[in-house]
């Protein structure tokens, strides 16, 4: 089984790589396969490349058709498309976001179509596809009306995945990921970066700032849970997905205040005191368009799972660091 992960040197890409090498992949037919070849593609190399002979790294822009032709050959059975320009950058650099998030997805799907083998494609979308005047709790019937360039680009990618699946060119899944907390490493240009930073940095003895009001409600998931759900998506038969290949994944709904209270309870008062609340209207303008709570009945019925509470997410990160 040959698999490609775009954005493969990113945090989720590396975690997904490790799980695929360890556990293999279950296809919609129910057949389980070990991974014989795993190609990681990213814009830059990583020093953390797995020491496994099955892994190959391709450094290059996966929105470039020439790179995609090298990356996705006739032997590829499945593609996990994680590569993207993050929300804050996509909003500030519109043309870059369109080139990478929309055109890059379109070129990747065209390459998969050209294989003529109907490969499995898992597209990492986002709950940023929602926006506007949202109900307190979204449902599977809520119409996506994104209010950011990132959300718009992700929604257009979903539509492409859906249409190419309808035509039989690919067997696609578009997963609307909640905000993933707690991510390791350093802050990035994502508008949601603070959600990990206000936990990660104080746990490391560093200061952190929260740019949105403490009353802001977020829809979040843990790294372990989102990887489990990405892997689970490959096993779902197309007939169960029906007319829509887009699925909003389970998460938990928490306010920033609850996150900070939990930090204090689990880690201590000193950690909580390292977090400041310095309002940033640019970040808040993006974040407040995102849903804070989603009733994921469809995802639940398809066998996706969610975290139980935020304290378990904090403890999970604590144990890993």
DSSP-derived 3-state class of residue 126: strand
Q: Which two tokens stand for residue 158?
A: 């979903």
pTM of the model: 0.95
Q: Residue 45: what pLDDT?
A: 76
Q: Is the pLDDT of residue 153 over 90?
A: yes
Q: Are 296 and 234 in contact (CB under 8 A)?
A: no
Residue 204 dihedral angles phi and psi, to the nearest 5°: -95, 10
What percentage of the chain exceeds 90 in pLDDT?
Answer: 90
Starting from the edge strand earliest in sequence, which strands make up the sheet with 2-6, in order? 55-59, 37-42, 2-6, 76-81, 120-126, 171-177, 246-248
Q: Report whether 318 contacts 203 (CB < 8 A).
A: yes
Radius of gyration, CA atoms only, the chain: 19
**What span, in angstroms and rounded, lies between the C-alpha atoms of 60 and 69?**
12
Q: Is the pLDDT score of 214 beyond 70?
A: yes
The pLDDT score that the predictor gives to residue 1 is 94
> Which residue's structure tokens are 């996705």?
72
Phi, then psi, of 219 in degrees rounded to 5: -105, 110
Confidence at 49, pLDDT banded by 50, 70, 90: low
Q: Which helix (H) or strand (E) holds 25?
A: strand 25-26
What whole-number distance in Å separates Cα of residue 101 and Cα of residue 124?
11
Per-residue pLDDT reduced to its tens digit, 293-307: 999 999 999 999 999
Higher pLDDT, 200 or 51: 200
- Percent of all residues in the chain with a pLDDT value above 70, rounded to a whole number: 99
C-alpha 167: how far from chain center:
25
> 68 pLDDT exceeds 80?
yes
Q: What is the pLDDT of residue 48?
A: 63
Catalytic residue numbers read 150
CB 221 within 8 A of CB 306: yes
The single residue listed with the structure tokens 């009945």 is 297
Query: Could you read off the pLDDT of 72-105 as tens digits, one per residue?
Result: 999 999 999 999 999 889 999 999 999 999 999 9
Place of tokens 């990492």: 124
**pLDDT score recorded for residue 188:** 85
State mean pLDDT over 15-33.
96
Domains of the chain: 2-177+222-248 (3.40.50.720), 193-218+252-294+307-320 (3.90.25.10)
Mean pLDDT of 24-28: 97
Cα separation, 104 vs 13, whole angstroms? 17
Q: Chain-wide mean pLDDT for the chain?
A: 95
Q: What is the pLDDT of residue 187?
A: 85
């Amino acid at each position: 089984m040959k698999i490609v992960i775009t954005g493969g040197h990113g945090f989720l890409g590396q975690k997904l790589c490790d799980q695929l090498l360890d556990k293999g992949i279950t296809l919609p037919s129910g057949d389980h396969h070990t991974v014989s070849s795993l190609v990681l593609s990213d814009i830059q190399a990583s020093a953390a490349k797995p020491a496994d002979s099955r892994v190959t790294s391709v450094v290059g822009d996966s929105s470039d058709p020439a790179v995609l032709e090298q990356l996705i050959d006739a032997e590829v059975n499945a593609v996990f498309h994680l590569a993207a320009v993050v929300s804050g950058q996509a909003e500030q650099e519109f043309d870059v976001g369109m080139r990478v998030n929309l055109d890059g997805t379109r070129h990747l799907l065209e390459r998969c179509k050209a294989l003529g083998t109907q490969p499995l494609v898992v597209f990492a979308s986002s709950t940023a596809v929602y926006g506007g005047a949202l109900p307190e709790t979204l449902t599977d019937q809520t119409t996506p009306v994104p209010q950011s360039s990132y959300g718009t680009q992700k929604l257009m990618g979903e539509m492409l995945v859906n249409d190419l699946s309808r035509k039989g060119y690919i067997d696609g899944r578009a997963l609307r990921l909640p905000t993933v907390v707690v991510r390791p490493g350093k802050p990035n240009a994502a508008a949601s970066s603070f959600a990990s930073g206000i936990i990660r940095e104080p746990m490391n003895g560093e200061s952190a700032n929260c740019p949105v009001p403490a009353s802001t409600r977020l829809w979040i998931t843990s790294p372990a849970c989102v990887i489990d759900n990405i892997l689970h998506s490959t096993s779902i038969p197309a007939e169960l997905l029906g007319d829509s290949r887009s699925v909003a994944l389970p998460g938990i709904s928490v306010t920033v205040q609850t996150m900070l209270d939990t930090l204090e309870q689990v880690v201590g008062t000193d950690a909580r005191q390292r977090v400041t609340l310095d309002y940033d209207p640019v970040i808040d303008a993006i974040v407040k368009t995102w849903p804070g709570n989603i009733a994921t009945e469809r995802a639940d019925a398809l066998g996706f799972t969610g975290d139980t509470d935020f304290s378990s997410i904090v403890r999970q990160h604590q144990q890993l660091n």
